[in-house]
């Protein structure tokens, strides 16, 4: 029987092989599966490390940042991120970064860092160290207004021992002659060195953008100045009277915004009005207190706060009301000037004595501005003796 069984085993190996052979075979398969699993694990880890290395070479973005695709072109000669400058000034804690840049406009179209400067004088405050900066928004084609301001109050650079800097803020010209207008602006800036231009379209409905770009310029180019004024091109400004007011001991040095303050003003809902604002843009029936946009004064700490808080304030085309919305969000009050008549918005008849006491007033034309200014600067006292003011 032993030999028969051996022969049969030779024919049917899978039934009569030594049991130790099965043990070795099972051990080999287990070891092979373990090594295969280990290789797969190392492969996954290696791939993850490569992906992470590549991702870290992508520019890091703040989670609140949403740049245009062309934002990398902003101010190539000033590579320091300007949002970080604002955060340094405000001492805002930087939030954790994310690796993927979100798409679209950052916050809304009024947020000034959506735009970049085409003409800039970023060192003017470093070299001149002004106490007061005057910023005038003006249309690109309004050369006449700029020239008259240069010949009058915009030419005052040292008043009561205080250095004053004046600059014009412009956007992009529109129309079929835009290239010619832009070339003229470049030449004008070479001559006067007082234009700041950003790449938004310069239109009435973009005045909020224009104002916020002014704030952006002040916080990133001129944070050392004590005060700044936003003043329109159709205003006659007395820098002398303005500085006299600022020298009063009760004038705040921070969180200060004053001018012709408007309160409890209803939102215009008529679609035919120049000041129409839809309920979608601003749903409340009344605006918060705001400074009339023709001219207002503010302390140098406010621009950074206004730019930062504007991230959470919905865009509104009424630029002065929008400043009021930002102040409301900041929970800051607007200040009535020591004498409300200092900031005049209109007049019936020119009177040299009365006008000599004002800080600002609106004029009908550039010719009128020059005429009144020339008369006010005559050496004779503006007010005859015993004449009531």
Whether 92 shows a pLDDT value over 50: the answer reads no
pLDDT of residue 69: 32
Extract the tokens encoding 267: 């939102």
**In this structure, is residue 385 part of a structural domain?**
no
**In this structure, is residue 120 part of a structural domain?**
yes
Structural domains counted in the chain? 1
Q: How confident is the model at residue 217 (pLDDT cuts 50, 70, 90)?
A: very high
**In this structure, is residue 324 part of a structural domain?**
yes
User: What CATH number is given to the structural domain containing 275?
Assistant: 3.90.550.10
**In this structure, is residue 252 part of a structural domain?**
yes
pLDDT digits (tens, 9 = 90+) for 227-277: 999 999 999 999 999 999 999 999 999 999 999 999 999 999 999 999 999
The candidate with the shortest Cα–Cα distance to 298, out of 208, 361, 229, 244, is 229
Higher pLDDT, 344 or 97: 344
**In this structure, is residue 284 part of a structural domain?**
yes
What long-range pairs does 56-61 form, CB within 8 A, spacing at least 24? 56/99, 58/99, 58/100, 59/101, 60/97, 60/98, 60/99, 61/97, 61/98, 61/99, 61/100, 61/101, 61/102
**In this structure, is residue 141 part of a structural domain?**
yes
DSSP, collapsed to helix, strand or coil, labels residue 266 as: strand
Mean pLDDT of 174-180: 95
For the chain, give the number of residues. 389
Q: In which domain, by residue range, is 260 found?
A: 112-376
Give the lowest-confidence range in 33-42, 55-64, 104-113, 127-136: 55-64
Mean pLDDT of 119-145: 97
- Separation of alpha carbons 377 and 156, rounded Å: 12
Mean pLDDT of 109-119: 94
| DSSP secondary structure code for residue 17 in this structure | S
**In this structure, is residue 91 part of a structural domain?**
no
Predicted structure pTM score: 0.75
3-state helix, strand, coil in the chain (%, to 5): 45, 15, 40
**In this structure, is residue 148 part of a structural domain?**
yes
């Amino acid at each position: 029987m032993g030999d028969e069984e051996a022969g049969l085993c030779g024919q049917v190996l899978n039934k009569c092989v030594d049991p130790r052979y099965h043990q070795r075979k099972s051990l080999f398969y287990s070891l092979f599966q373990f090594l295969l699993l280990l290789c797969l694990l190392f492969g996954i880890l290696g791939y993850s490390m490569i992906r992470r290395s590549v991702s870290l070479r992508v520019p890091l973005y703040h989670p609140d940042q949403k740049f245009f695709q062309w934002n990398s072109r902003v101010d190539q000669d000033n590579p320091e991120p300007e949002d970080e400058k604002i955060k340094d000034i405000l001492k805002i804690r930087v939030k954790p970064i994310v690796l993927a840049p979100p798409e679209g406009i950052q916050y809304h179209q009024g947020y000034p860092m959506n735009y970049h400067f085409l003409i800039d004088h970023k060192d003017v405050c470093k070299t001149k160290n002004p106490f007061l900066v005057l910023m005038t928004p003006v249309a690109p084609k309004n050369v006449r207004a700029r020239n008259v301001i240069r010949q009058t109050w915009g030419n005052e650079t040292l008043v009561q021992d205080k250095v004053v800097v004046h600059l014009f803020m412009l956007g992009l010209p529109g129309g079929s002659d835009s290239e010619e207008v832009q070339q003229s602006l470049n030449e004008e800036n070479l001559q006067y060195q007082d234009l700041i231009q950003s790449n938004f379209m310069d239109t009435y409905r973009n005045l909020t953008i224009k104002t916020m770009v002014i704030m952006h310029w002040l916080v990133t180019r001129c944070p050392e100045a004590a005060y700044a004024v936003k003043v329109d091109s159709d205003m006659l400004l007395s820098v002398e009277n303005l500085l006299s007011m600022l020298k009063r001991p009760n004038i705040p040095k921070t969180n200060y915004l004053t001018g012709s303050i408007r309160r409890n003003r209803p939102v215009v809902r008529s679609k035919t009005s120049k000041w129409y604002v839809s309920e979608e843009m601003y749903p409340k029936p009344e605006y918060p207190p705001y400074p009339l946009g023709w001219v207002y004064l503010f302390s140098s700490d406010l621009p950074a706060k206004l730019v930062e808080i504007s991230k959470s304030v919905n865009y509104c085309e009424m630029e002065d009301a929008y400043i009021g919305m930002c102040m409301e969000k900041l929970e800051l009050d607007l200040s009535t000037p020591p004498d409300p008549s200092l900031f005049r918005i209109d007049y019936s008849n020119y009177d040299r004595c009365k006008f000599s006491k004002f800080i600002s007033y609106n004029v009908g034309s550039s010719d009128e501005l020059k005429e009144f200014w020339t008369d006010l600067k005559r050496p004779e006292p503006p007010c005859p003796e015993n004449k009531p003011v």
